[in-house]
Structure formats: structure tokens, C-alpha cells
Structure 1
Amino acid sequence: MKKQYWTEYESKVADDHYYYERSCIRQSFFTGSEEVFINIVRDLLGKDIADDMNLHTCSGIGYYSGVVPLDTTMTVVARLFALMTEAGYKNFVPSCITSFGLVNEVVDMWHHFPEKLEQIRGYLKEANGKEFDVPENIAHPCDIIYKYRKELKEKMKYSLTNVHTGKPLKVVEHIGCHYAKIFPRQVKGGAEFPQVLVGMIQEWGGEVVDYPERRHCCGFGFSQYMVLANRGYSAANSKKKLESMQPFKPDFILANCPGCTMFMDRWQYTIAETEGITYGENGMGIPVLTYEELAAILLGYNPWDVGLQTHQVQVEPLLDKMGIKYDPKDKYVGKSGAFLGEPEKPTHLKVKAYE
């Protein structure tokens, strides 16, 4: 029997009692993702998850862009761990892929250089008097959804099936680099065969699309987008992926990194405006979802409560394929019930008119 080397790579995910670290960019770009994740874990799965109002940035983007010094970033991470310790938790769950990669890197450095850990303990104590324990378990939220994907399937009202043809939806899965490529042995399937999104897609009825640039970076790249003159490199990476997947006619893209989701969504608009090129069916682009958003709409959450109206590429064609009910009149209505206004239509990327 042929050996499957990816099975040697395994992630260990705690069963319960999670300390959730919110993401600066996830809650800015895709405003409903974190709320529905907490709701799914707490209310549907019955797990204990802490949502601490005192949380702050991990400084990961600044660190990886060469702006924030290592010792500063380590001390910031130490304060996050101190908040976790004070709350009585041992299982750290960072929402952002950058944070996930960063905290694992910091803990790994402390393991190899214990004198650095003691130095950081001193810095934190001097700064604010706090002390901390290193987490016993660090898992990304997508690991938790993957762990309980079967239990969630039993509660789902919809599946990844085209209701008009009865065939599985074709899904491109994109894994954030800082999730699988820094410490691949901590990820189920490693860097080449990560299973976390594949498992969700297949369990929930979809078909995974394999294409040449499947493991190529989305182009996030930190300094590639922080420096205005470098943003063409970022867009070029996303374009390379989109061109590679286009012949396979995917119904949507699923990502576990908020940055990857944002760039593969927003760059489609940029490419359309600058080059007149569109991807997907009928010139409407390929929808890009976070795994929280996908789980939520399959469970029957209102797409607009999930925040799907904040995406550049419209999701209505995908919702129609899945048979998901929604009221188009509620798309741009705020919590107060007031109409917020319809965004200006792009030049080339086609959108459905607001009803």
C-alpha cells in the first residue's frame, strides 16, 4: 500500500475552554466572521470560549514587515498570554493566521532559548506588573471548525450542492502561508496537503478543485501591500492564482486567512478595473468566503447578518446555486433598520442591481 506521508503531520486541538484572540484585520474586513464563530462554538457546539474586551493587536504585521522589533513583539504576545492566564484559560485560539504563525514562532523561540523567555517575563513585569503562563495548546479557529465538522453537518440546513444540477459545488481551498508553512508538522497534512479546509468542503458535500497554483501565496506579503509602490506584486500573485484556477470553473474560493480572503476578493475588482479582466461566471467574479462565513450560511444564518455584503465580489449567485434564501432588500440595511446606501457599481466587474 502506498504510504501517505501527509498523515505523519497532525495538529492537536483542545476539546474545550478556548481563549479567543480577535483579529485586527478579520473584524475590519469581514465583520461578521468572528461573531458567528463565537456563536457557533458557544451556542451550537456548547463549548466554553472567552471573548475578552481587553485584547489588543499581536503586532504581527508590523513585526513581519520589519517595523516592530522582535523583543517588542514578544512582549506584546506575552501580554496576550497574561490576559489568557488571568482569565483562567490555557488554550489560546488566535483568529488571525498571522497571529497564529507569530505566537507559534514566539513560543518555539522561547523553547529553544529559555533565557529569552525569562527576559521577556522581566520586560512585561517591568511594563505593567503582569505575569503569564505559556499556553498548553495553540490552535487556529479553523482547526476547531474542522475538528467538529461532522457535528456541525448534522445541524446544517444546506450543503455544498448545486440545487439546480444536483452536483457538488467546485471549491478552491486556499491555506494561509503562516498557517501551514512555518511549522508544517503542527498542521494536519503539513504544508503540501493541509486537510483543514479540504475536510470541511468534502464533509459538507463539495468537491475540492486541484489546480497548478494551489499552494501559491495570495500576494498578501506584508511589505508588498504596506509599501504603496509594491502593491503591484501583491495583485500579480493573486492574478496568477486566479488565472490558474479559472479553467476549472470553481464556484467559490474558501480561505482560512483574513488577508488571503481580502486580497483574492478585492484584487478581482482591481484587475477588472485596470485590465478589464474578470473571472468566474458571467463576468461577476469568483466569490471568496471565510470558513466561518461558509459554516454560518450552511447552518442557516442570514447572509447579511454574517456580513457577506462587505465582499467585493457578490455572493448572490453562489447563494442561488445553494438554494439559500435571502432578502435582497436587506442587503444594505443597518442594524437600526435604516438604508445605508448602495455602493457605486464597478466598471467591469458585474454586480446585481439592488432591489
Structure 2
Amino acid sequence: MVIVPGTAFVELALTAGRHAGSPVVEELVLEAPLLLAERVVVQLQVTVGEPDDDGRREVAVYSRPEAADEDGGRVVTCHARGWLALQATPLVPFPVVWPPADARPATVDTLYTRLADTGYEYGPMFQGLRAAWHAGEDIYTEVALPEDAGDDGFAVHPALFDAALHGGLIDKDAGSTADLPFSWSGVRLGSGGGSRVRVRISPAEGSALRVDVTDESGALVVSVAKLAVRPVDPTQLQGARGGGQRSLFQLEWTPISVGSGAPVRVALVGDVGGAGEPFTDLDALQRTIADGAPAPDAVVVAVGTPAATDDVALAGRAATTEMLALLQWWLASERFAGVRLVVVTRDGVAVGGGSPDLVLAPVWGLVRSA
């Protein structure tokens, strides 16, 4: 699967922001991958909104196939969405001495072979890492485009920009899950340029990375205050082919084995109909278990009590808050380790319906199965 690198979307947002007078990508979240197929032309569109009181503008990147499908339509997909801003966080000084005096060389000769075994199969344009060093928690690298590659009018070439991230993969274990950029924060362009750059990759908040790129004279090319990555399974990308589901996230029904047919003890919490032992709330169920009763095999909880308001946004926020509180409480309770949680939503759907069999329609999610 040939995926357009996330750096291409960032470069598009940076260029649009520069033209609109908001040159910093304050945040850009990648919502869906853009997969390329042979002899299929894709059209791109970048939208920039009006500035708010702080000068921030919404930005989004969309695509659609140039050719219409059998029904005469063309599916439009949003690949990235975020905010442009006027100001960015202060730069961190880049070492004057190159490579840094305390840096230890790292082996990069077999890097792209090892990454191919992990799932990254970079083409010649993207195999830009030339040298690397460790210095404490920082990784320094030299990155270059092939000699026959031009800048093609980019503010920073996406292939060069992408290769600047590869230093963060040097210590990646063979056979581990492939990671893809997910969220970019505090991205700014500098005055430097060229096809050969120096890179520093440093730890940022949590598991995120900070990336600073300069040219060989030390002038800033591009800086990323925080880059967050997420593991991705190649099967998650299959839906992005053709006109199917484009998002990395999708709803799936997972078959559950019923086992040997042994009786299952079900606890019904709140206003839930069906076969099972009823409880007024989760605290009541927990007290019963504390008094010596065995934990049930499954707990069924109804979420989404009808709100006394016609404000859809307010009602949705209330239901989401209720769901979050339930999951936090459940995960913090050791008494329900190994117990399956079944969440029943209520959107005009009868639950129970007077039938002796438990009706779950629709089911939102299953959490913490044994």
C-alpha cells in the first residue's frame, strides 16, 4: 500500500498558512490516510478559515478522485484538520559543533532493511538517512535527498521532511508494530533550505517527539514542537482502498464464542430489562460482591438516559460524560477484573421489551473481557 506521508499534509498546511498570514501549524491531526493506486489521479484541496480574535485559522486537507465512480459521484475524504496560528513556542538552540562533541555514532547501514521487516518499505526518494548519533536522550542525524531530486517548489520537500523523522526509528525493535504520525503541534518553517539537512530528535511530552531541522549552515528549515505517533495495523488501512471506509477508525462486529453453553450469570444495572439479577446501581452490585457473593460473568449497564433538553449538543455531551465516568469507575475497580462490561445505548430503542431474553440494541462496546 502506497501511503502519502503525513509530512505532505503538514507542508500543504504550512504553505497555505504562509499565504494566509498564519504561518505556524499550531495543531494538525491526521484523520485518514491517503492511499495511492496506479494510474489513478487524485485531486487535493486545502481550506483555510477566517481568523478568530487571536489570529488562529482552521485548516483542513481533503482529497477526491479525479474520475467519477459508477454512480457519477466522487467520494471526498478529509485527511487532516487543525489550526494555523501567528506565533509558535520558542526554538531550542541547535548545537554549533557538528556532530555534537558528546555524540556516539549509530549504525544506519541496515536501517531501511530492518524497517522493511517491520512494515515500512521506503522507496529510494525516502531513504534519506545518511548518518546518526546518540547524545543522551537526543538523536542527531544527517538526511539528504537523492542527487537527482529537485525541490519541486515545496517549502520543505515532504520526502526530506519524512526522512528527518527516521532517526526516531533507529532503536525500533525488529518485528514491532509500525507507527504512523498522528498529531503535529507547533510546526514552523525557517529560512534555511537545500536538499541536505541536520536533524535533532528529542523526547517531548509523554511519548511524543520534538524535531528540529536545520541546513548545513545552521539555519532553521523546519521545527516540530511535538509529534505524536500511533501504531497502525496494515489491515486497518485496507478500508482506505477504493471508495470504502477511509478512516483509520471504524465500527466492526466481533464474533464471540458461546463456549460450552454453560449458564452465564448476568447482572442488570439500572433500568435494563431482560433475564438477569437486577441492581439499582453499580455501587449496590459492588457491595453484594464485597459481602461474599460471586462476581457475575457479565454486567449490563444502560447509558444515555434521555436528557430533559432539546439541545442535541448538550444531550450528546451529557451522554459522553456519563460514559466516560462509567469506564473510569469500571477500570479502577479491582472487583470487576475479568468481568465483561456490556453497554446498552438508548436512542429510541426498547431494551428488554418484556421478553424473557435480554435485548441489546444497539450495543456500544465491550470493555475488559477476561
TM-score bin (small chain): under 0.3
Question: Which structure carries more strand by proportion?
Answer: 2
TM-score computed with the length of structure 1 as normaliser: 0.23
- Which structure's CA Rg is the greater one? 2
